[in-house]
Structure 1
Amino acid sequence: MQVLFTLWLALLPFLQPTPTVSAAAPSPCRIYGSVYLERDPMYKSMASHIVFVGEEEAFADMVVFRESNKLFADAPAIWYITPNKAFADHILYVTDQRHLADFTVHFTDVRAIATCRD
C-alpha cells in the first residue's frame, strides 16, 4: 500500500494537465474599472500593459474618460485612476516612448466619446 502511494506521489506532477499559454496579450478593450498608472521603471514588470499617453485623439487606440467615482467605471475605456496600487484592478506602465507601448491612450473630458479602437 505504501509503495502505491509513493508511486502515485511520484507520478502526480506528470498526470496534471499542463496549462496552455496564450501568445496574444489580453485585449486593451477589456481594461476598465480602477486603474493605477505606474511611472517608475523599477516596477514596470508588475504592469499588465505598457501605454503611451498621447495628446491627439485621432491617433489613440483608446479614448479614455476619467471617472471620478470607482462605481461608475463599469465600461470599456471608462477608468477610475486610483492613487494606490493595492486597490487597482489593472496596473499599467506609462512610457514616454510611443514605439515601446502596447497601445496608446488619449484622455477626454466627455464620457460619450470614450471608446476603444481595437
Structure 2
Amino acid sequence: MRIYFIFWMALLPLFNSPATAPAPAREAIVERDYCDIYGAVYLERDPRYKNDASKIVYLNEEEAFANLVVYRENNKLFADGTGIWFITPSKAFANHILYVTEQRHQADFTVYFTDMRSSATCRD
C-alpha cells in the first residue's frame, strides 16, 4: 500500500499542468438585434412596466438619425419583414414589447415611422 502511495505522489507533478496565461479577452461585438424586431409590437409607455420590455426605444422625429425606419402595418399577417410592425393594443398578443422613453440617451435604438412600406429598413 505504501508503494502505491509513493508511486502516485511521484506522478502527481505530471498531472498538474503549469499555470497558463488567461486567453485574451475578445473584443465586444455590438449586436444589431433590433433589426430582427418585426410582427406584433407593443409600445409600453408606463415606467412601472419598463422591466417587462425587451428593449428601450426612442421615437425619433427625423428619419436621418433613426436606427430603424418602421412602417406601421394594419394587418398582423403582413408584418413579416424588417421594420414592418403591427402596433398591437394588448401586451398579450405582442411578439415584442418595447419601452418608449423620452430620453434619447437611455434608448437602445431609435425609430422613425414612415408612410411608405418600401422605406422600412434597418440602418447599422
TM-score for the superposition, normalised by structure 2: 0.75
Equivalenced residue count is: 96
Structure-2 change in CA distance of 1:71 and 1:111 (3 Å): same
CA distance in 2 between partners of 1:92 and 1:64 (Å)? 14
Q: Which runs of 5+ in 1 are unaligned?
A: 1-22
Question: Is 2:69 aligned against 1:63?
Answer: yes
Structure-2 change in CA distance of 1:91 and 1:54 (3 Å): same
Letter in 2 for 1:117: R
Deviation digits for residues 41-72 of structure 1 (CA, Å, limit 9, x no counterpart)? 00000000000001000000000000000000
CA distance in 1 between partners of 2:32 and 2:51 (Å)? 16
Question: Is 2:20 aligned against 1:34?
Answer: no
2:99 paired residue among 85, 93, 97: 93
**Structure 1 outlier segments of 4+, above 4 Å:** 23-26
SS of residue matched to 1:68: coil
CA distance in 1 between partners of 2:118 and 2:62 (Å)? 17
CA distance in 2 between partners of 1:112 and 1:97 (Å)? 29
Percentage identity across aligned positions?
68
CA distance in 1 between partners of 2:46 and 2:32 (Å)? 23
SS of residue matched to 2:40: strand
What displacement does 1:25 show?
A: 6.2
Q: Cα RMSD (Å) of the superposition?
A: 1.3
Mapping of 1:1-118 within 5 angstroms?
27-118=33-124
Structure-2 change in CA distance of 1:48 and 1:24 (3 Å): farther
Please identify the structure whose Cα radius of gyration is greater. Answer: 2
